[in-house]
Structure 1
Amino acid sequence: MKIFSGWRRFAFGVLLIFLLTHLFSVRELNNSKTVESRKQLNKKFDHLVLGPAAGQGLSNRLQCQGSKALNRTHASNGRLDVDRSITLVTVFTIYNSSLNRVDDKSSKTVVGSASYNKVDRSMAVLNTFINFIQVAMPRSKVIILTDPVSDLSVKRNRVSLYPIQGEYSRDKLMLQRIRSYITFLETRLHKLSQNQRDISHYIFTDSDIAVVDDLGQIFHDNPDFHMALTFRNNKAQPLNSGFIAVRGTPDGILRAKVFLQEVLKIYASKYVSASRMLGDQLALAWVVKSKPHFDASRFAKSVAFSDDIGGTSILFLPCALYNWTPPEGAGQFHGMPLDVKVVHFKGSRKRLMLESWNFYSSTSNIADMLCLILGSGRTKYDF
């Protein structure tokens, strides 16, 4: 009996060791699969990867078959003859540290038939930004606010540089951007004081956007606002600073300047630690939400609305139309609205911006290009 009992204990021990070894192996396998899955999710591709377009079967959403649009009509360009009175303004500079590495082969990127270093890539994005504007709003102007010491040269029709002194380091660029907007608006006020009939409306944007439809209707259809902001259903950051419209009347420019000065004050006092990015959006939200009785629940619906914030009449426009971002990873799954006006290629979507322009250049079809963006937007690209 003792021998039998000892044998049982031995067999049980062997079985236990086997089970523990198996469980450990399964756990290691699962861990390695999880790590591999995360690597795949974070992998950035050096070419477009076209997948199923989100929003198929949903009403009022772009329907695509591959990169072919099935239901889009894009015919509003120039219909209002307003774009001649609109100037799009962006902040852009080239850093000396980037210029010192223009021959660094490790930083080379190939998009289509073109090869770019870091500076070339930035300039390609800027030129693509201008290209889209000149297709959608051919009579509008573009002004680039820049660091006076940056080696920036842009020779394009209806495009001009406007140097503004400031601190354009990467860590302070978003803070400087608001300062540059305020300085620019002050110069416009001075110009209007000399000639009040020289009215031009202004749209301040990031340089990584594509204007795909006429934006003149914002001012035509909404005659009473001073400035416009874009919003989304995001509790922490409901307002996106990549698109700000300002009515070009003396009162519109003055009220927008006062509002941005308040945003700058909050930015510098409460969110200076986020000066590289996001601080401006947090400050925008703080200024708007601090208004007594402001109903922030309106940000949950993609419907434009107006409100008075500290004496500034603000038109709130849904990001879904005026600041639509291609979903990346687990982003927006509801597709692209049929009447989208602006596509914002934030973060690592810059390659998609350049590839989209290359596609449009070969087809001259905005709707099909939007299907390309929609089908590619969930993939991470290389810059």
Structure 2
Amino acid sequence: MGIFRGWRLLFLSLPLLVFVPLLFSVSELHRKPNLEQDLSKNHAKKFDHLVLGPAAGQGLPNRLQCQVYNSSQIACRDDKLCNTVIVGNASYNKVERSMAILDTFINFIQVSVPKSNVVILSDPASELPIHRNNVHLLHIHGDYSREKLMLQRIKSYIAFLETRYEEYIQRKNHLDNYIFTDSDVAVVDDLGDVFKKYPDFHLALTFRNNKDQPLNSGFIAVRGTPDGILKAKIFLQQVLEVYNSKYMKASRMLGDQLALAWVVKSHPSFDVKRFTRPEAFLDEIHGASVLFLPCAVYNWTPPEGAGQFHGMPLDVKVVHFKGSRKRLMLESWNFYTSYAASDYSDMLCLILRSGRTKYDF
């Protein structure tokens, strides 16, 4: 994995999986025997055991073919067992799995970007049991209910940037470069190159070849300068206004991404065709210099199904285990720690053979 040797980065994450107002404490992980496989069609469920097999789909140049999950179906005769996930020798219930994912998120950052700090943006009512070096918990008041979590995420980002800007104005505090991410991502390579290679942006967004939802809010970078923080805050405030006025019906999911796309595409000179090519580009959007980075490198998601799968980009830096892929995040870290001698790409290149297809460049 790449090692960051440039400026310090500050990673900020709202733990999307841990949003209950009163979080249960994580009990000690314990061993359990593997679940019995039941191929009953009456209670079908995705098979979630890693199966090494042939590559799926058609590869593209400079892409790595992946290991796949078996397409067999299983069912649980005991509802309690259905809520249990076994990865390697560890067994998790739902709450423990959420904390394991957050812990794995931190693990990846500390291996790939060891000089960075991690700040977890959290509901003041949630006491997350996190005791790690260079990891901090920052409570931000708001509505963290499931229905408003995506809306709250934008509000939390704005609140954080406002605080940093005010502290700088009052005390001339040192400013770091900031990266806001979801907690279900694995940072697997140096991200400092974003700030060095592209010195003129205020904030960076990731895009993909998707007409209706070209922007993903799971990765937002902000340059650690007074101008960068101020312009990024104003930009996100515009996104929040659009969110509130147009997309509140999608406040539980996707509203922030729809609002981001509306703000960007509503700019008169913006060319939406640039979203169809996996090449980084810079544009000025409503007074802010915005860097657009391809998801294929900075926010890559393992696809579900082989229909449109083209392999994992060899230069991927951030893997986003969104949705049903969260189990793969725990599998990949277990793979990495269990088989340290193998190529790190092997443990990241996991896909679900579910029959569903996803966009890809």
Contact 1:212 1:341 in 2 (8 A): yes
Q: Is the aligned partner of 1:246 residue 2:229?
A: no
Indicate the residue corresponding to 1:264 in structure 2: 240
Q: CA deviation at 1:364?
A: 2.7
Task: Say if 2:132 is the partner of 1:156.
Answer: yes
**CA 1:377–1:343 in 2, change beyond 3 Å: closer, same or farther?**
farther
* Contact preservation (8 Å) 2:168, 2:226: yes
The 5-angstrom pairing of residues 1-383 of structure 1 reads: 43-54=45-56, 58-62=60-64, 107-196=83-172, 198-330=174-306, 332-364=308-340, 368-379=343-354
Give the match's secondary structure for 2:50. Answer: coil
CA contact (8 A) 2:242 2:259 kept: yes
- Note the C-alpha offset of 1:196: 3.5
Quick check: 1:51–1:376 contact (8 Å CA) kept in 2?
A: no
Q: Is the 8 A contact 1:259 1:310 kept in 2?
A: yes
> Could you report, residue by residue, the CA deviation over 1:283-328 in whole angstroms, capped at 9, with x for unpaired residues?
0000000000210000000000010000000000000000000011
Larger helix proportion of the pair: 1
Percent identity between matched residues is 69
SS in 2 for 1:219: helix
Residue 261 of structure 1 and its aligned partner are, at CA, apart by 0.3
- Equivalence for 1:73: none
**Once the 2 structures are TM-superposed, how far is the Cα of residue 54 of structure 1 from its aligned partner?**
4.8
How big is the shift at 1:55?
7.0
Structure with the largest fraction of strand: 2
Over residues 8-35 of structure 1, what are the superposed CA-to-partner deviations in whole Å (9 max), with x where a residue is unaligned? xxxxxxxxxxxxxxxxxxxxxxxxxxxx
Question: Partners in 2 of 1:46 and 1:212 — Cα distance?
Answer: 23
What count of residue pairs does the alignment treat as equivalent? 304
**Amino acid paired to 1:374:** C
Q: Is the 8 A contact 2:168 2:174 kept in 1?
A: yes
The 3 A distance-change label for structure 1 pair 160 and 335 is: same
- CA deviations 1:34-78 (Å, max 9, x no partner) are xxxxx79x84113113333357764212267x69xxxxxxxxxxx
User: Highest Rg: 1 or 2?
Assistant: 1
Give unpaired runs (5+ residues) of structure 2.
Answer: 1-40, 69-78, 356-361
Aligned to 1:179, what secondary structure does the other structure show? Answer: helix
* 1:371 shift after superposition: 2.6
Do the aligned partners of residues 363 and 126 (structure 1) sit closer, same or farther apart at CA in structure 2, a change above 3 Å counting? Answer: same
Query: What SS class does the counterpart of residue 259 from structure 2 fall into?
Result: helix
Cα drift, residue 370 of structure 1: 2.3
Q: Distance in 1 between matches of 2:247 and 2:89?
A: 42
Q: 1:232 to 1:106 in 2, by over 3 A?
A: closer
Structure 1 residue 144 displacement after superposition: 0.3
Q: Distance in 2 between matches of 1:228 and 1:331?
A: 30
Say which SS state the counterpart of residue 303 (structure 1) adopts: coil
Structure 1, unaligned runs of 5 or more: 1-38, 68-102
Report the aligned-residue RMSD.
2.2
Cα distance in 2 between the residues matched to 1:208 and 1:57: 26
Residue type of the alignment partner of 1:191: E
- Normalized against structure 2, the TM-score is what? 0.79
The alpha-carbon distance between structure 1 residues 266 and 211, as it changes in their structure 2 partners (threshold 3 A), is: same
The whole-number CA distance in structure 1 between the counterparts of 2:287 and 2:310 is 36
